[in-house]
Chains A and B, each alone.
Chain A
Amino acid sequence: NAGVTQTPKFQVLKTGQSMTLQCAQDMNHNSMYWYRQDPGMGLRLIYYSASEGTTDKGEVPNGYNVSRLNKREFSLRLESAAPSQTSVYFCASNADGVHYGYTFGSGTRLTVV
């Protein structure tokens, strides 16, 4: 089925470890996004890529890096994981114009111990 695919679905890291969350979409969308969901905080934007080759910081970028590998793929990297990064991470994509809304992946639940 067409959509946004995130891997892995679950991950447990130790403090200080690194990892990359993968995201791929097959809808030929230009824009891609990484959000984190925390209780009481809603969905907060970490980074986004409005088009292939560009990336911009969102509301909570500290501790993260991103790579827009090509039009399909947008990865999120935690270089040195901290317990505060325990969260559910969602990748999303969008065609031309956010007024049309996003298509979200099913999320990655990350626990940092």
Chain B
Amino acid sequence: DQQVKQNSPSLSVQEGRISILNCDYTNSMFDYFLWYKKYPAEGPTFLISISSIKDKNEDGRFTVFLNKSAKHLSLHIVPSQPGDSAVYFCAATHQGAQKLVFGQGTRLTINP
């Protein structure tokens, strides 16, 4: 049972436009969510996170939105840059858990 789902395997966006990556979860116990970015031949690196007590968290060009009632979160990148081309993983966890649960990933391509 996939508890964290990223239903879009890939996304292509023009440079300068907004990129929106989506993530859905099924486990109501999840109360903390993270986004990781992965370049080819490298390990994933932490990008941004959000607690369930918030509905928005912003860090520069990156904003994560959380809709708890819909069990949905999204990552917005504005404006998109060529260096943002990577695979993005959504992850979730809950208080007391000892591990993260990851989604399948979305490959983002920023076109010049």
Which has the most chain B C-beta neighbours within 10 Å: A40, A42, A48, A92?
Answer: A42
Q: Among A40, A90, A98, A99, which residue has its beta carbon within 8 angstroms of that of B44?
A: A90
Decide: A45 near B43, CB < 8 A? Known: A99-B32, A101-B34: no
| A59-113 interface with B by 8 A CB criterion | 90, 92, 98-99, 101-102, 104-107
How many A residues touch the partner, as a band?
20 to 34
Would B102 and A42 count as touching, CB distance under 8 A?
yes
Which of the candidate stretches B59-67, B72-80, B92-100 sits at the interface with the other chain? B92-100
Decide: A106 near B49, CB < 8 A? Known: A42-B102, A50-B98: no
Q: Among A4, A90, A98, A105, which residue has its beta carbon within 8 angstroms of that of B93?
A: A98
Please indicate the chain B residues that have their CB under 8 angstroms from the CB of A31 in the complex. Answer: 98
**Nearest CB in chain B to that of A48: its residue:** B99
Separation in Å of the B21 CB from the closest CB of chain A?
Answer: 13
> Which 9 A-B pairs give the minimum distances between C-beta atoms?
A104-B43, A42-B104, A43-B102, A101-B46, A50-B98, A42-B102, A98-B93, A106-B43, A99-B32
Please indicate the chain A residues that have their CB under 8 angstroms from the CB of B36 in the complex. Answer: 101
Q: Among A4, A42, A48, which residue has its beta carbon within 8 angstroms of that of B43?
A: A4
Please indicate the chain B residues that have their CB under 8 angstroms from the CB of A56 in the complex. Answer: 98
